[in-house]
Amino acid sequence: MLDAMRKRLTLTHAIREAVDTYPDGICFASVDGRPILANRTINDLCSRLTRRTITNAERAWRDWKALKLTDTSEGLQTGFSTVNPNTAQERFLCRLADGTVWQFQRQNLNIRTVPVVQYEATDITELYKYRNRLRENVAQAEKLHERQRDLLRNIVQNNLDKEILEAKIRIHDDFGRLLLMSRSALNEEADSMKAGALFEAWANVINDMENASSHRASSRNTPEKELVQVAGMIGCRVFFNGRQPSERKPLLLLYAAVREALTNAVRHAGADCLTIDIRDEGDRYHAEIRNNGQKNSAPIREGGGLGNLRRRFEQEGARLQIDSSNGVTLILTIPKE
């Protein structure tokens, strides 16, 4: 009997020693808050926060909660979880006078059908610092991205302004030339042919001024016309199915992919027809570029052309896929501006 009691005391002492040496704070208590077992760490934390040790776990929990941090809504597991009412968990953070940050957690347990409440405290000072540093980096990155977006918008606007300036310069030059021609015609007796050419030149300049807005709108079709002309020169036809992007950046990405597909189709597959199917999917464009060239079962190697095209797509947040199961098909996913 005496040996059994000694063994039981030894086991109890070993359990208490293990709990006391546990690096985190831990406390087991009954539902009404009566402590069953509490280690040195959690008692020390309670003393440093409230200037008293744990005499009632529920009261200590309320005292800790009154001192919790309020800037922990992002990045850390805080708040109340009700996945299972029997094992509900509640977490919050507290900062001690020495600057360390601890996470306090309460969890309901059932040990041999006996309800027990477990209180735990964990030092998360480094994690808290990393979280704050990460949040600052994310904020700085967002500011940088916003500046980049402003820069891109300014580049687009500058290009439009450049086109307008070029149109103004052209009209100004035409006016100057026509004024000199008109003065020369008035000083000299011009024949009817010269007078007719002069009137036609004036009509053209006036027509350019009146149709300046339509000229700017039609200039968007210039890349497509140039593309079709280049394709015709190398013996390939180009067909667009579906509405092309109205935004400048997606349109330029589409044409860049079509030019690369055209070059590869004629050079490597001997194609004479290129088909581009375009679909508007709300916040993005989906396009597939196919050719009628020879089917090649060899894997596609991305050289300078395709490699540069893929990098350009990735920089713009777009996606480029190559399907070689039935010929070579470029599959494009281009976000709208």
Count of CA atoms in the C-beta half-sphere (13 A) of 100: 11
For residue range 200-227, what is the model confidence (pLDDT) as tens digits? 777 776 766 665 544 454 444 456 777 7
Is 2-123's fold the same as 221-335's? no
Domains of the chain: which residue ranges? 2-123, 130-210, 221-335
Name the residue type at position 263.
Answer: T
Residue 135 has what pLDDT?
87
C-alpha span between 101 and 117 (Å, rounded): 23
Q: For the domain 221-335, what is the CATH code?
A: 3.30.565.10
- 21: number of Cβ within 10 Å: 10
Pick the CATH number of 2-123 from 3.40.50, 3.40.1130, 3.30.450, 3.90.70: 3.30.450
Count of CA atoms in the C-beta half-sphere (13 A) of 226: 10
Over the chain (337 residues), the average pLDDT of each successive run of 10 is 59 64 86 89 89 89 88 44 52 88 90 88 89 87 75 67 74 72 67 65 69 50 71 83 88 88 82 91 92 72 78 89 85 89
Residue 153 has what pLDDT?
64
For residue range 37-53, what is the model confidence (pLDDT) as tens digits? 888 888 898 988 888 88
